[in-house]
Structure 1
Amino acid sequence: MGEKWIAVVGSPRRGKNTDLMVDYVIEGLNEKSIRVDKFFLSSSNISTCTGCEQCIKTGTCIIQDDVTKIIDNMKNADGYIFASPSYNYNMTAQMKSLLNRTFCLNDYSNGWESRLSPEKKAIIVGVCAGKTKEYMGYTVEGISKPLSELGVKIIDIIEYYNTKYISVINNDNIRGKTIERIRNLTEF
């Protein structure tokens, strides 16, 4: 049996640029016998971190909402797709709220270690309306850093620019290129 991954879509726009890019990554992973469950943060009940630090002691966030299910899935999955459009040079508020809540996956009981099992992998997807990487701002970096700190190996970063003029749906080549890119990854 193949690996199990989760996809976390930070865009509030289903069926649009970021969601489509995630679908293409999923298609490529499916070719590698990797099953992917998809979570849409925009339809999730997500509370923001309150900084109570209870998770430092218990390893569990005391806030019980849809983030709890996503974090439980993160613990059990072999890998992740985290995707967000760039909103004002950064990830969406929903994605930031989720990543803040993953702080409970840090274990400080004996120095520091991740509460995630080793060998977790991730593909990061960033999408922006601007024409160049400069317009992506901190979106990809902001997603990658907390995951890397948890010991997750970022195996690919996929960025798509210029959606204002060439949306994903209107790019005849991007689906095939993305699937091929995933097909050629060797870190599985």
Structure 2
Amino acid sequence: MISNPKNDFERLFGPYQDGYCFEIENCQIRRALNNRVSKHGAGLKSAEFLLYKAKSNKQIIYIVEARTNAPKQLDSYISEIQEKFVDSLSLFIAMHLNRQSQAELPEIIIQANIASLDFKMVLAIEKYPDDLLSDLQDKLRKALIKTTCIWNIGFDSVIVINEKSARKHGLMNS
């Protein structure tokens, strides 16, 4: 389970093997950077957590943003989620490359070969209807197209799921 859930939905994520989850939203380096950039009128956004998984010969970092709902008007919502994914990916890579402190990153993640890591950007929305997931996913994928191209992340690695799907993906308690 993540240690600082903001709501009941976030409490459902995990439990994860020790050292495989990094709560990027609550890390000290993000707070310090946010203090620096906020002086210039900017803010550093982040997803809730990063989750390391090894499957076969693949190492995957899931960047997970959890929401309890989504508004009917999606433009600003998608823009906010896009910013969280881009900032989280950038901060993680900066930390992994030791451009920012690695002190808070779990050892298994530090040891991962960044060149061969796969990334999945997962937006989990608690009570989102199954029939609306693909439309929101398409919009989010389009918003993240530059980022996925720059980092050679598959277009299908941007995923929008609801609580039921999150359980199937093994992201939360059954």
> TM-score band (shorter)?
0.3 to 0.5
| TM, length-normalised to structure 2 | 0.35
Largest Rg, 1 or 2: 1
Greater helix fraction, Structure 1 or Structure 2: 2
| TM, length-normalised to structure 1 | 0.33
